[in-house]
Structure 1
Amino acid sequence: MKPNRSVPLATVVPVLSYPDVRAAVGWLSAAFGFVERTRIGESHRAQMSIGADGAVIVAERRGGTAERDESPTHLIRVRVEDVRAEYERARAHGAVVLEPPTDREYGERDCTVEDLAGHRWQFAETVRDVAPEDFGCQTVAPWPSNPHAD
């Protein structure tokens, strides 16, 4: 996998929605020992490390609540080598396309699809290395070096 300082190193990264990102970061840090690595806006998102090689993205909840199923409360982000290939394979097997492959300012290309049970999956590949500060974010604590980088 190509390195990118703007994203977690983990292959699978859950994205969990909370009504208050800062409160969630504080709670996850205190309760589980997660470490905030990147802050994206004051209350939009945060990337957190879990142990030596795990990660989670804490995201701002938009719309409904978890109890009412009006908006998704999570998606699973999977880092891959070729987003377009994953996208085409998922489409060929009937995945519902929520967002086709899109290049992001933070050096990633991703797409989002929904599986047969309604679970949301986001496939992402690194297209370039970008420092979080290059697109207006703040590094709170750098991600450790990736021992598996090409």
Structure 2
Amino acid sequence: MPEPSATASVEVPVDPATAFQVFTEEIDLWWVRGPINFWDSSRAIEIRVEPGVGGRILEVYADDALERGVITAWEPGVRFEYRSSTDDTETTVTFDPIAAGTRVTVVEALVPGGTEAVYSWRNVLHWFPAWVARRDTAPHEVREVGRLAVALSYDDPAAAARWLHRVFGLETWDRIPEEGRQPSWIELHAGASSIVLLRRDAPGAPAADHATWVYVDDLEAHFTQASEGGAKILSEIHQHGYKCYEAEDLEGHHWTFLQARPTMP
């Protein structure tokens, strides 16, 4: 039997009316488009919230749509509620004024007699503040992941994510796991390209017959950061058509960092 409810909360530096509008009208801009973030990731083209009571939460496909929920309460700037169409939960999203802006809280609750609950908001709500922070300067266009991704296996993927973030400066559209957390899915990004960190099935050093290539804006500065952070440098900056250096991470994976062209997005 699933737990009776799950709660997640974030704070954003805008007033409740703006937070409500951005949350609902721009959900397709702040929803991270990863391979596990949709019911049918291979077909999804949009996440949409239809406003008002009776409106639907939709996962839109080219020729169809999955109804994820139906709105049962709609108070702009205050709250909205919906009954899930995919499990036995009711969800309430509230927008409370605080000194720094708005606290957004999502409560997913199992309905009486319900037996199935997929409490997903606690895994995705933290995407919302990231979009609020950048929406005034970022293009209002869907941020789609690239067609090329790399999957790397580690004995401790969360520790590897923190190390790669600190030493190699890799960012994420999601979040870097905190100490003590071991998410089932960790995805870093270099531009639109994904680097997926998985748990290794069997302990041992990885094969050294592959490498991840990442283009960076300032190769010299990146080399200094990696060297000082503890990366094992396999080759210093050199040029052979492209300008690059090679390094090894904390569990033996090989990485090649290259100077990005000015025209690269």
Sort the TM-score into its range (normalised by shorter chain).
Answer: 0.3 to 0.5
Higher RCO structure (Cα 8 Å, ≥6 apart): 1
- Select the structure of larger CA radius of gyration: 2
After TM superposition, the score normalised by the length of structure 1 is 0.37
TM-score with structure 2 setting the length: 0.22
